[in-house]
Amino acid sequence: LATLPFGVFSHSSTGGGARRIGVAVGDAVLDLAAVLDDAVFAAPSLDAFLARGRAVWSGTRVRITELLTDRRHQGRVTPHLLPRSEVALHLPFTVADYVDFYCSLDHASNVGRIFRPDAEPLLPNWRHLPVGYHGRAGTVVVSGTPVVRPHGQRRPPGAEAPTFGPSVRLDIEAEVGFVVGVGSPLGDPVPIEAFADHVFGVVLLNDWSARDIQAWEYQPLGPFLGKSFATSISPWVVPLEALQAARVEGPAQDPAPLPYLQRSEPWGLDLSIDVALNGEVVSRPPFATMYWTADQMLAHLTVNGASTRTGDLYASGTVSGPDRAQRGSLIELAWNGAEPLSLADGSTRSFLEDGDTVTLSATAPAADGSRLSLGEVTGTIHPARPSAFFLDGRVS
């Protein structure tokens, strides 16, 4: 009841399995269109609801809480609490633009140390702006969608020419995504103070990454096919309003950022993420350590006048804490293969194998001192397309 995350579900009771909007309540999904007199909840996505803005988001939350707690509504509400096991969950909103940042000091430092061992781990711009880039919005998929191992070009160490085949360095990135509800017009930067007027809530996000494809392609214009084959998000969007008790100051920043990036409110979030590989927790990245906070990301994203739209999704970048057991990607956990992870079943991992399932889950402090759940995002690696599909390396 403290969380009330929004999602899109279908169920045999909702007219032939049509999609509509629900909130998760314990082990049930409340069919909002059935209990709130508003057609916006009969939509197959959150888009129109997201666009209505902060006052409506907040009022809806109050109304749902009343319905669920006031015994007078019980008879009306109970029939529309559907068991979670009976519903299918779908992509909750139409992803407009997808941006991926790189906001963890520990992650950026680890990657720098792995790939440029003799140089400063952080590039000169890193402490001055939240580094980010655009990803592929069309391949953002909902939790549970199979992740097919991608083919691509990669250059073996020491070779001059690339080879072609399935990625052999498939990785995860444990991230938190922010969902824009109310957009902003072209030309108008969003002041850092206006963050919560624009961003509705958060999702958990796994930015699947083919490190071999990425390493060969990314200079000079950044990651492309090494990331664009799939990005998974949790089906439930947790409103910022549910995370009031999780708000913390972001880490101190040195040097002080330029004025447009200076924080006005604490928008660090004390989320504790679990990274589970085949059911075994292999890492616990702490989101509160992120150097750049979500309000800074939005202020930066728009300072050049770029517009935003309902459904824009921007992610934090891999969440890694200072300790080894807090790293949010396999390339860091296994230090680029030098220190493979040992799993409980006796096997080891440097990168993902076919059949591996990765599940990110998270909790946050609730107002009553307990912890609330942000749900999970999961995905299983399916084998690459058979080689017949790539007959002699040609797509057939």
Considering the complex, state which of residue 5 and residue 226 has its C-beta at the smaller distance from a copy of itself: 226
Q: How far, in Å, CA of 302 to CA of 297, rounded? A: 9
**What backbone torsions phi and psi does residue 19 show, to the nearest 5 degrees?**
-80, 140
Least distance between a copy of itself and beta carbon 199 (Å): 16
Considering the complex, state which of residue 218 and residue 335 has its C-beta at the smaller distance from a copy of itself: 218
73 is catalytic: no
Residue 336 vs residues 92, 115, 350: alpha-carbon distances, Å: 34, 9, 7
Single out the catalytic residue among 11, 80, 107, 151: 107
Question: Which amino acid is present at 322?
Answer: P
Least distance between a copy of itself and beta carbon 172 (Å): 16
Considering the complex, state which of residue 31 and residue 295 has its C-beta at the smaller distance from a copy of itself: 295
Considering the complex, state which of residue 119 and residue 344 has its C-beta at the smaller distance from a copy of itself: 119
Considering the complex, state which of residue 27 and residue 392 has its C-beta at the smaller distance from a copy of itself: 392
Burial of 114 (0-12, 13-18, 19+ CB in 10 A): middle
Least distance between a copy of itself and beta carbon 270 (Å): 27
Q: Find tokens 């004025």 and name the residue.
A: 259
Q: How far, in Å, CA of 366 to CA of 71, rounded? A: 24
Q: How far, in Å, CA of 19 to CA of 237, rounded? A: 16
Closest of 204, 355, 359 to residue 287, by C-alpha: 204
Residues 6+ apart with CB under 8 A from 71: none
Sign, CA torsion 352/85/51/249: negative
Least distance between a copy of itself and beta carbon 2 (Å): 33
3-state helix, strand and coil shares in percent for the chain, rounded to the nearest 5: 25, 30, 45
Least distance between a copy of itself and beta carbon 97 (Å): 5
Residues with a known catalytic role: 107
